A and B are shown apart, each in its own frame.
Chain A
Amino acid sequence: MSSDANVFQRPAISRRGKSSEDVWFQRALALAGASVLIILAAMLISTTINAWPVFAHSGWSFITSAGWDPGISRTEITGSYGALSFILGTLITSGIALLIAVPLAVGCSLYLTNIARPTIGRPLAYAIDLLAAVPSVVYGLWGLLFFIPIFIRPVLKLIADTLGEVVPFLDGPVVTYNYATAGIVLAIMVLPIITAVTREVMSKTPIAEIQGAYALGSTRWEMIRAIVLPRARPGVIGATMLGLGRALGETVAVAMLIGGSEQMPTTLFQGGQSMAGVIAITFQEASPENIKALLGVGVVLFVITVIVNMVARLVIWATGGRIAGDAAV
């Protein structure tokens, strides 16, 4: 075997005692590894430079005001660009998604790690992971033509009719596609990643403490309350942040289900638009200056999600390492 012969060849030794092949090999791998850092930096720089005319034109009002009235100029900025309603749309839908997904994910993880036998738990965990494998456009299609009109709209109408008078933001006529509908489908989409991280953290609960709680006479629920939940809290916070990062950046499903309106939100049951959504829906027909403005929206979205993700990863690292498994990526 010719490749084995290599092993026994005496390699050229450099002054530092390493063969030059080794040095070059290490450099090549280091460059590949550094490419992640380079790409992230290049992303931020390239988009910011291209969006700069709009930032310069609008200043802070780009993120603090809500008038979105694109001009049609090729060379200068003539329209007015205030992305506040999109920013709020992203925050509202993500908030609804987390409000639903986090308790559900914690419940699922508790069941999978503490109650289910492995023979039942493993396939159930696998099935929840499978939710992460469904392409977002399929969530969008399914929500648009089936789930929202048939299941969710009647429920939302009921909520608006009963709670709308008393609870703020839950009133008004319920249009078919609105902040709430996008948020609900978004909840399904971020559930697997939150569950994956929470499950991993909970599975690391020291067995001695669990047995200690049982030895003191706890029921299973008391053991969970006293041992599993307090220990999992930092992990759940990290998982929530990670889910938030995912929810903020989710594009096509939200774009299809949020209703596509540029008005400022006054109730959860009106149509709106998200940051990613406005880029996806209007980019293809946008004028050159409008494209710059959409790039600006993208930069704002990128900065927010990267900060959220960095905090999330730091929190999760602090709880004891990275999370394995493909639902967590």
Chain B
Amino acid sequence: MSITTTSTETNSSQKRFTLGASKMSGNYAARKRKSQIMEGILFLAILLALTPLALILFEVIRRGASAMNIEFLTSVQNISLIREGGGYLNGLVGTLYMVAIASIIAVPLGVATATYVVEYSDSKLVPFIQFFTDVMTGVPSIFVGLFIYTILVQGGGGFSTLAGGLALSLLMIPIIARASEEVIRLVPDDLRNAAYGLGARRWQVVMQIVLPTAGSGLITASMLAVARAAGETAPLLLTALGAFKIVPELLGSPQAALPLIIFNEARGPFEPAHARAWAGALELMLLVLLLTLIARAIGRKTEAAI
């Protein structure tokens, strides 16, 4: 803050010029002290808000690291909650598999939505799309799972990798669309005009100028959505279900996922399962954090480049 009040002027005339809206009484020193106390309270709010973050990171690292080993990373799930041993490899594979499917569906759709919103902003449809994209980010993820259950699982498809991937894709679309929209808006109009000046068609401008320019920003947007989707549990309960082995099939067999295994093993009363759940949480957090950090790093580069 560059603006600071001069604390030396504490004469009585000051009172007349203070704001009527706020409750002010007493001399300037008392008011100043009150302000400092309130500022201290606001700082306490920050500390209070960040305490859980510190506690989560500390506890997940502490308990996760003590249960994490090569066996955990390289072997599939132990069927027994009571016995020690086994890992979450099936969950990691399943999560990556479903997130990949979700990305294949959600990235083109999300980017196309954002492109339409920015490049065809004269369309009457655009405000509705923007509004409902925002609303869709707030749809409960478990409801997305229910929806996929009714159209895919129930109809005979059964629990499958595809069902899980589809559910995740529906959660990713609005996130990608919103974030991409901000990126595409950053592309300067000069570039578009230069292309039009060379005789380019609108679709050529979009495909050959706008999207390539926004490229790395679009990757950032997509990766943030991937990071979100990788940590989702609720929709997968109703679509992927879970599996104790590595499942290569796209359809016809339930699929495992890291968050699903953590959810199941944490809820029981058994210590070996709890230890694995902490290691799984560490693995999942590292995966999400890695994706988020890469996305942010690419994003900063883009902003600098544009």
Binding site for B on A (CB under 8 A): 3, 6-8, 11, 18-19, 21-22, 25-26, 28-30, 32-37, 39-40, 42-43, 46-47, 49-50, 103-105, 107-108, 110-112, 114-115, 117, 124, 127-128, 130-131, 133-142, 144-147, 188, 191, 195, 210-211, 213-214, 216-222, 224-226, 230, 242, 245-246, 248-252, 256, 276, 279-280, 283-284, 294-295, 298, 301-302, 305-306, 308-310, 312-313, 317, 322, 324, 326, 329
Q: Which residues of A contact B23 (CB under 8 A)?
A: 225
A284 and B59 in contact, given A111-B45, A298-B142 (Cβ under 8 angstroms): no
Inter-chain contact A218/B22, CB cutoff 8 Å: yes
Q: Interface majority SS on B: helix, strand, loop or mixed?
A: helix
Binding site for A on B (CB under 8 A): 1, 3-5, 9, 14, 17-19, 21-24, 28, 31-32, 34-35, 38-39, 41-46, 48-50, 52-53, 55-56, 59-60, 63, 108-109, 112-113, 115-117, 119-120, 123, 125-126, 128-144, 146-147, 149-151, 154, 170, 173-175, 177-179, 182, 195, 198-204, 206, 208, 224, 227, 230-234, 237-238, 241, 259, 262-263, 266-267, 274, 277-278, 281, 284-285, 288-289, 292
Distance in angstroms from B206 CB to nearest chain A CB is 7
Task: State the CA gap A94–B140 with chains docked (Å).
Answer: 14
A43 and B144 in contact, given A141-B262, A221-B35, A222-B24 (Cβ under 8 angstroms): yes
| Contact pick for B263, options A117, A137, A249, CB 8 Å | A137
A33 and B237 in contact, given A195-B49, A218-B22 (Cβ under 8 angstroms): no
Inter-chain contact A218/B126, CB cutoff 8 Å: no
Task: State the CA gap A177–B23 with chains docked (Å).
Answer: 43
Distance in angstroms from B222 CB to nearest chain A CB is 12
Task: State the CA gap A297–B89 with chains docked (Å).
Answer: 34
Inter-chain contact A25/B206, CB cutoff 8 Å: yes
Task: State the CA gap A308–B147 with chains docked (Å).
Answer: 20
Inter-chain contact A135/B288, CB cutoff 8 Å: yes
Distance in angstroms from B244 CB to nearest chain A CB is 15
Inter-chain contact B201/A11, CB cutoff 8 Å: yes
